[in-house]
Structure 1
Protein backbone atom coordinates (compact mmCIF):
# COMPACT_ATOMS: atom_id res chain seq x y z
CA UNK A 1 0.00 0.00 0.00
CA UNK A 2 1.34 3.42 -0.94
CA UNK A 3 1.69 6.17 1.63
CA UNK A 4 -0.58 9.07 0.72
CA UNK A 5 1.39 12.18 -0.19
CA UNK A 6 0.26 15.53 1.22
CA UNK A 7 -1.23 17.89 -1.30
CA UNK A 8 1.19 20.75 -2.00
CA UNK A 9 -1.39 23.58 -1.75
CA UNK A 10 -3.32 22.25 1.24
CA UNK A 11 -2.17 23.51 4.66
CA UNK A 12 -1.28 20.90 7.25
CA UNK A 13 -4.08 20.15 9.70
CA UNK A 14 -3.77 21.96 13.02
CA UNK A 15 -2.99 19.57 15.82
CA UNK A 16 -2.32 19.77 19.51
CA UNK A 17 -4.03 21.53 22.37
CA UNK A 18 -4.98 25.17 22.38
CA UNK A 19 -3.14 27.61 24.66
CA UNK A 20 -5.90 27.73 27.29
CA UNK A 21 -5.92 23.96 27.75
CA UNK A 22 -2.11 23.85 27.87
CA UNK A 23 -2.13 26.57 30.55
CA UNK A 24 -4.69 24.66 32.64
CA UNK A 25 -2.68 21.44 32.40
CA UNK A 26 0.51 23.29 33.33
CA UNK A 27 -1.15 24.90 36.35
CA UNK A 28 -2.53 21.56 37.57
CA UNK A 29 0.82 19.80 37.11
CA UNK A 30 2.62 22.55 39.03
CA UNK A 31 0.07 22.26 41.84
CA UNK A 32 0.50 18.47 41.98
CA UNK A 33 4.29 18.40 41.88
CA UNK A 34 5.13 21.56 43.82
CA UNK A 35 5.64 19.61 47.07
CA UNK A 36 7.92 17.11 45.33
CA UNK A 37 10.07 19.91 43.92
CA UNK A 38 10.33 21.57 47.34
CA UNK A 39 11.66 18.35 48.88
CA UNK A 40 14.88 18.63 46.90
CA UNK A 41 17.20 15.87 45.78
CA UNK A 42 17.80 13.07 48.32
CA UNK A 43 21.39 12.85 49.58
CA UNK A 44 21.97 9.43 47.98
CA UNK A 45 21.02 10.80 44.56
CA UNK A 46 23.14 13.91 45.03
CA UNK A 47 26.11 11.68 45.97
CA UNK A 48 25.54 9.52 42.90
CA UNK A 49 25.40 12.57 40.64
CA UNK A 50 28.66 13.89 42.14
CA UNK A 51 30.34 10.52 41.56
CA UNK A 52 29.11 10.33 37.98
CA UNK A 53 30.27 13.88 37.30
CA UNK A 54 33.70 12.97 38.69
CA UNK A 55 33.89 9.95 36.36
CA UNK A 56 33.66 7.41 39.14
CA UNK A 57 32.02 4.13 38.15
CA UNK A 58 29.80 2.02 40.41
CA UNK A 59 32.65 -0.51 40.67
CA UNK A 60 34.97 2.25 41.92
CA UNK A 61 32.43 3.22 44.56
CA UNK A 62 32.08 -0.39 45.73
CA UNK A 63 35.78 -1.18 45.51
CA UNK A 64 35.12 -3.92 42.95
CA UNK A 65 37.25 -4.76 39.92
CA UNK A 66 35.78 -3.36 36.67
CA UNK A 67 35.17 -6.78 35.06
CA UNK A 68 32.97 -8.04 37.92
CA UNK A 69 30.08 -5.65 37.23
CA UNK A 70 26.89 -7.49 36.31
CA UNK A 71 28.35 -10.96 36.75
CA UNK A 72 27.09 -13.49 39.27
Structure 2
Protein backbone atom coordinates (compact mmCIF):
# COMPACT_ATOMS: atom_id res chain seq x y z
CA UNK A 1 0.00 0.00 0.00
CA UNK A 2 2.84 2.37 0.80
CA UNK A 3 4.31 1.64 -2.63
CA UNK A 4 1.14 2.87 -4.34
CA UNK A 5 1.17 6.11 -2.37
CA UNK A 6 4.80 6.77 -3.15
CA UNK A 7 4.21 6.06 -6.86
CA UNK A 8 1.23 8.44 -6.89
CA UNK A 9 3.26 11.21 -5.29
CA UNK A 10 6.09 10.68 -7.78
CA UNK A 11 3.69 10.84 -10.75
CA UNK A 12 2.41 14.27 -9.73
CA UNK A 13 -1.09 13.16 -8.70
CA UNK A 14 -2.18 14.63 -5.37
CA UNK A 15 -2.70 12.10 -2.57
CA UNK A 16 -6.40 12.63 -1.78
CA UNK A 17 -7.86 11.38 -5.06
CA UNK A 18 -7.66 14.73 -6.82
CA UNK A 19 -6.07 15.53 -10.16
CA UNK A 20 -3.24 17.98 -10.55
CA UNK A 21 -3.63 21.10 -12.67
CA UNK A 22 -1.79 19.64 -15.68
CA UNK A 23 -4.09 16.61 -15.88
CA UNK A 24 -7.19 18.76 -15.42
CA UNK A 25 -5.98 21.04 -18.21
CA UNK A 26 -5.40 18.11 -20.58
CA UNK A 27 -8.86 16.69 -19.85
CA UNK A 28 -10.40 20.12 -20.43
CA UNK A 29 -8.67 20.56 -23.79
CA UNK A 30 -9.72 17.10 -24.95
CA UNK A 31 -13.35 17.63 -23.90
CA UNK A 32 -13.47 21.02 -25.65
CA UNK A 33 -12.07 19.49 -28.85
CA UNK A 34 -14.67 16.71 -28.74
CA UNK A 35 -17.62 19.01 -28.08
CA UNK A 36 -16.48 21.64 -30.59
CA UNK A 37 -16.60 18.93 -33.25
CA UNK A 38 -20.15 18.00 -32.21
CA UNK A 39 -21.26 21.65 -32.29
CA UNK A 40 -19.80 22.12 -35.78
CA UNK A 41 -21.87 19.21 -37.09
CA UNK A 42 -25.07 21.18 -36.53
CA UNK A 43 -28.59 19.94 -35.93
CA UNK A 44 -29.94 17.24 -38.27
CA UNK A 45 -32.86 18.37 -40.45
CA UNK A 46 -35.32 15.96 -38.83
CA UNK A 47 -34.52 17.40 -35.39
CA UNK A 48 -34.85 20.96 -36.69
CA UNK A 49 -38.28 20.06 -38.16
CA UNK A 50 -39.38 18.54 -34.86
CA UNK A 51 -38.27 21.64 -32.96
CA UNK A 52 -40.18 23.88 -35.40
CA UNK A 53 -43.32 21.77 -34.88
CA UNK A 54 -42.95 21.95 -31.12
CA UNK A 55 -42.47 25.73 -31.29
CA UNK A 56 -45.54 26.20 -33.54
CA UNK A 57 -48.39 28.27 -32.16
CA UNK A 58 -50.43 26.35 -29.61
CA UNK A 59 -53.73 27.47 -31.22
CA UNK A 60 -53.72 24.44 -33.50
CA UNK A 61 -53.17 22.12 -30.56
CA UNK A 62 -55.79 23.94 -28.46
CA UNK A 63 -58.35 23.54 -31.25
CA UNK A 64 -57.80 19.79 -31.33
CA UNK A 65 -58.18 19.53 -27.58
CA UNK A 66 -61.45 21.46 -27.67
CA UNK A 67 -62.89 18.96 -30.18
CA UNK A 68 -61.77 15.98 -28.10
CA UNK A 69 -62.88 16.84 -24.59
CA UNK A 70 -62.98 13.21 -23.46
CA UNK A 71 -66.69 12.54 -24.14
CA UNK A 72 -66.17 10.10 -26.99
Q: Which TM-score tier does this pair reach, normalised by the shorter chain?
A: 0.3 to 0.5
Find the structure with the greater CA-based Rg: 2
Q: Give the TM-score normalised by structure 1.
A: 0.40
Q: Give the TM-score normalised by structure 2.
A: 0.40
